[in-house]
Amino acid sequence: MVVIAIGAVLLGIAIPSVYRRVHPDSLQKAVDDIMGALEEARAQAIMRGARVSIVIRPADRTFNLSQGGSGAPTSGAGGFGPSASSGETGASSGSSEGPVKFPITLSDHIQITGLFVDEMDFTDDEQTAVTFYPNGTSDEFTLLILHPESGEFRNIWLDVVTGLANFETTREKSRMK
């Protein structure tokens, strides 16, 4: 009986990780990839002392790292707006310093249902970007993704003061105020 109980506990612990390996289209994998990309961009901005952006193409479900650039302010006062200027898109990190490999492409089974940067809706735009600054701050950012088969939503957002990413499971369409 003890052997069966130990086997059941081990099986219970192993099932979620086995499921994620067998089903790479899972919503959790998408969340992990996006959170990793946001953390990498924030770390790069702090370590390099320069702006770093994640360029997002909602139709393609791709996330790409864009480093530095001209240093010119993006839209909005003080350079705190979406920065999808032509000189900063499509760039790759080109380094193997971090564990995240760019570009990141979400599974065809994941939909981007909301993309907000500085309280502006970019869901239907070709591309936009969220910028991280050398002091650890970031643009205001909210991303809603959906796994249509399960009906599950995930709401991913950045704390603008710390630039740290958070997420929650939600049925709401937006975390916007």
Beta bridge partners of residue 64, listed in sequence order? 55
CA-closest candidate to residue 153, choices 27, 34, 29, 60: 27
* Residue 60 pLDDT exceeds 50: yes
Give 145's contacts (C-beta < 8 A, 6+ positions apart): 27, 30, 31, 34, 106, 110, 111, 112, 113, 153, 154, 156
What pLDDT digit, counting tens, does each position of 117-129 carry?
Answer: 999 999 999 999 9
Specify the DSSP element, H or E, that contains 43. Answer: helix 27-48
pLDDT for residue 93: 35
Contact 117, 81 (CB under 8 A): yes
Asked if 50 contacts 68 with a C-beta cutoff of 8 angstroms, the reply is yes
The answer to which of 10-24, 35-49, 50-64, 143-157 has the lowest mean pLDDT is 10-24
Give the span between the Cα atoms of 95 and 168, in whole angstroms: 31
pTM over 0.85: no
Instruction: Please state the rounded mean pLDDT for residues 10-29.
Output: 77
